[in-house]
Amino acid sequence: MVTSKYEKLASYLSNRKEEMLRMTFEQIEKLIDGPLPQAAYEHRAWWANSDSNNHAINGWMQAGWETTRVDMDNKELIFVRRAPFRQYQFALPTRPETRDQPKILYQKAPSKNELEVILQRTGGVENLANIIKVVDDYIHGELEEIELGQNLRKFWPRR
């Protein structure tokens, strides 16, 4: 069985008692006994809490932590204690029928009229695409919560 060097980070975080922990990239490299990849220094998205990032799944997410406030200039971030790893396993089963189903907002496909209302309320297709991009950036850790609100206000039409 292949183990991940990020399991050492998971083990370290699992043994912590605090709810929030600030770490530098250098401290993390000491824990994993090696350098972080260049992408960790160049791309905030590398630190995203995503089930498509093996280093996140085998590292902090496995231990029940998430990254936040990634400061690329000072090469540090904050880990925040979250739900246990089992909450993230919905994306991992090999048989699709075993996955937990996401909450469905519509029990049926939205009607043409409902879609038109959504587009109207969001300012049209192009503006809706901008709103989705901002939310996606927030989900992937590229924006902090305050930046999410500031950016959404740019695109969300006021009534």
Domain assignment present for 97: no
| CA–CA distance, 157 with 78 (Å, rounded to integer) | 33
| CA–CA distance, 63 with 56 (Å, rounded to integer) | 10
Domain assignment present for 56: yes
Domain assignment present for 50: yes
Q: What is the pLDDT of residue 78?
A: 94
Q: pTM of the predicted model, to two decimals?
A: 0.53
Boundary-marking domain end, from 49, 68, 91: 91
Q: How far is CA 117 from CA 85, 100, 104, 131, in A?
A: 38, 30, 19, 16
Q: Are residues 84 and 12 in the same domain?
A: yes
Domain assignment present for 84: yes
For the chain, the domain total comes to 2
Q: Are residues 117 and 77 in the same domain?
A: no
- Domain ranges, residue 126: 103-153
Dihedral sign of CA atoms 11, 16, 20, 21 in order: negative
Q: Are residues 52 and 116 in the same domain?
A: no
| CA–CA distance, 121 with 129 (Å, rounded to integer) | 13
pLDDT digits (tens, 9 = 90+) for 100-119: 444 444 456 667 888 888 78
Q: Are residues 114 and 66 in the same domain?
A: no
Residue 77's identity, in one-letter code, is: L
pLDDT digits (tens, 9 = 90+) for 1-50: 446 789 999 999 999 989 899 999 999 999 999 999 999 999 999 999 98
pLDDT digits (tens, 9 = 90+) for 79-102: 999 855 444 444 444 444 444 444
